[in-house]
Copies of this chain bind each other. A is one copy, B any other.
């Protein structure tokens, strides 16, 4: 059994040394990975750690745990707690009386391996060199992110989860987890993800990665805080923002309104340009560029297996009509996939103009089916 640990991770130390990534929550806990962790694609990670936060209380029977697997850039801080009162990335969905009700469920949110939110990743210090791994971090697959999350579940001495909830990339991580351990959870909620990435999404992420790699300050991954690929990260994030929402939403929200900013030729003139730029500018220094490259590529690589049988008895699959990255037909495929595995599946297409990110903002539309699924299903009693 992997031991629980609360020492700060190397990733965290690096991040703090660079002084520029969003703080990992003080409520974060850490689990050591096995000292030699063999990765899905053959590489080896030594002395890795996985960061997570928990919310609510584990029942005496240890049967009320809900594992939340976040998207690419989100941390383990899914909601505020006494330990860290700052809003989490899914604040309105997780907490006492909320759709994922922490008065009832023991929620575990695990930070993705390969990212820069506390778990080991390319921004962590390589103990062999004393410097960040950068592109020497082993090739990362979503199967590794799933394996790391499983280590947290084991460390918490939970034999079976009540439910695994995965959003976006986290939805794919959930698929990887439930393929490796089909009976790890009695139920599953898969939100705005797919069995694999489609070529449009792959091509868009390819341009995002190229923008980072083409930034001369990327320096083959050996950037520093002072010589940092901020411009490439901004471009990558802008494309992210554009594909995370929908054309329909931009039209309602910004129309053709102008800002006065015309300081430079071809500068930002429309409100939409200004909004996207400000968002990207904030993001560019709050997420590690190499981690972005690794996770982005892992999303392209992932493919759910087709021969898996068994698994959760109940599944809720949700997606959004206007999602450009994982359009509704992909959630249909996820629903069919779990049906083939024997689950009772509810598939909900949310009619929102908020695109891929709708689950973060259309709380009511997502919260209602989620709440009903968590409250009424027979697997509720473990």
Contact = CB atoms under 8 A, between A and B. Distances in A.
Contacts of A214: 231, 235
B207 A250 contact: no
Interface in A344-381: none
Contact of A270 (B202, B213, B221, B231): B202
Interface in A232-257: 235, 238-239, 242, 246-247, 250-251, 253-256
Interface in A281-299: 293, 297
A72 interface: no
B211 A251 contact: no
Contacts of A327: 247
A202 B272 contact: yes
A324 interface: yes
B270 A198 contact: no
B242 A204 contact: yes
A238 B200 contact: no
Contact of A250 (B199, B242, B266, B303): B199
A266 B140 CA distance: 12
27 contacts: A197-B256, A199-B254, A199-B270, A199-B271, A200-B242, A200-B246, A200-B247, A200-B251, A200-B272, A202-B273, A203-B238, A203-B242, A203-B250, A203-B270, A203-B272, A204-B242, A207-B235, A207-B238, A207-B239, A207-B276, A211-B211, A214-B231, A239-B239, A247-B327, A256-B303, A266-B293, A270-B300
Give 6 closest A-B pairs by Cβ, nearest first.
A200-B247, A199-B272, A199-B250, A199-B254, A206-B273, A200-B250
The size bracket of the interface on A is: 35 or more
Interface string A197-225: 11111111011011101101000010000
A326 to B, nearest CB: 10
A60 to B, nearest CB: 46
| Number of identical protomers | 2
Interface string A263-278: 0011011111100100
Contacts of A156: none
A135 interface: yes
Nearest to A257: B199
A118 to B, nearest CB: 24
A216 B246 CA distance: 31
A196 interface: yes
A42 to B, nearest CB: 14
Contacts of A204: 242
Contacts of A271: 199
B206 A247 contact: no
Contact of A235 (B196, B199, B235, B303): B235
Given A203-B272, A235-B235, 14 more contacts: A199-B253, A199-B270, A199-B271, A200-B242, A200-B247, A200-B250, A200-B272, A202-B256, A203-B238, A203-B270, A207-B242, A211-B235, A256-B303, A270-B300
